[in-house]
Amino acid sequence: MLSLRNLSCRYGAVQALTDVHLDVHPGEVVTLIGANGAGKSTALKSVAGLVHPQSGDIVFEGRSILRRQAHKIAAMGIALVPEGRAIFANLTVLENLEMGGYLRTRTQIRDGLEEAFALFPRLRERIRQSAGTLSGGEQQMLAIGRALMARPRLLLLDEPSLGIAPLLVKAIYAGIDAINRTGTTVLVVEQNAHLALRHSHRAYVLETGRIVTEAPSAELADDPRVREAYLGEG
């Protein structure tokens, strides 16, 4: 469904990604784990069209999306929940969700709202509130709900657990599982490898811009090297 081929990306002199290969098949939850600065966000931003890699290719459903503008990639069925959530703090919760459905019709938006509220009931209680007043966890729920309003076939999540109270992290990952069960393909980036490996089918490990390991998540969780480097054990 999504394929990163030989992808290399630089910011000026900083090489963020080098020859990255990564595949996501329909229906999967794939995770990309790696330390801070490994290049995880760059990989997702490249797919979403927010940064433009220098070489390699990104293929989505058989078509290259490498040089496409971000709003056109969104229209193709890819939604990114960015790191730090990037909700529209000056809009209400409802307006944020409406923006998620920017390319959809009124009725589709109405149905989408119901689905978002079913997934994260807290959002319904806060619907008229300015989104800037939500807690971090609630903002993350809003950011995910907003991305789902577009009915993406591929959902990209950038560190959804970052800086969020443990109880809400559970709710958010339960939500991600539920989203995947409805048929949405998910690529999730995490520093928190424990969490990511428990909630995914396959995993890639990124180290300073290079993919060093690829394996089923359950297998990787038992790998001594991974345990040592990313699970704080060994």
Partner 1 sequence: MTAFLQQLLNGLSLGSIYALVALGYTMVYGVLRLINFAHGDVYMLGAFAGYYASKLLHGRLNGGLPEAAVILVVSMIACALVGMLIERLAYRPVRRASRLTLLIVAIGVSLLIENLAQIFFGADPKFFPQILPERMFEWRGVLFTNQQILVLATAVLLMAALTLFIRRTRTGKAMRAVAHNPDAARLMGINVNSIISLTFALGSALAAAGGILVSLNQPSIDPLMGLMTGIKAFVAAVLGGIGSIPGAVLGGLILGLAETFVAGYGSSTYRDAIAFFILIIILLCKPEGLLGKGQVEKV
Kindly list the residues in this chain that would bind partner 1 in the complex (CB under 8 A).
48-50, 69-71, 74-75, 79-80, 82, 84-91, 95, 98-100, 102-103, 146-147, 150
Site string for ligand ADP, 38-77 (x = CB under 6 A): xxxxx-----------------------------------
User: Does residue 41 belong to the site contacting Mg ion (CB under 5 A)?
Assistant: yes
Residue 105 touches which of ligand ADP, Mg ion, partner 1, none (Cβ within 5-8 Å per kind):
none
Residue 14 touches which of Mg ion, partner 1, ligand ADP, none (Cβ within 5-8 Å per kind):
ligand ADP
Residue among 32 and 44 whose Cβ is closer to partner 1: 44
Residue among 35 and 231 whose Cβ is closer to Mg ion: 35
HEC profile for the chain? CEEEEEEEEEECCEEEEEEEEEEECCCCEEEEECCCCCCHHHHHHHHHCCCCCCEEEEEECCEECCCCCHHHHHHHCEEEECCCCCCCCCCEHHHHHHHHCCCCCHHHHHHHHHHHHHHCHHHHHCCCCEHHHCCHHHHHHHHHHHHHCCCCCEEEEECCCCCCCHHHHHHHHHHHHHHHHCCCEEEEEECCHHHHHHCCCEEEEEECCEEEEEEEHHHHHHCHHHHHHHCCCC
Residue among 34 and 100 whose Cβ is closer to ligand ADP: 34
Minimal distance, residue 182 CB to ligand ADP, in Å:
27
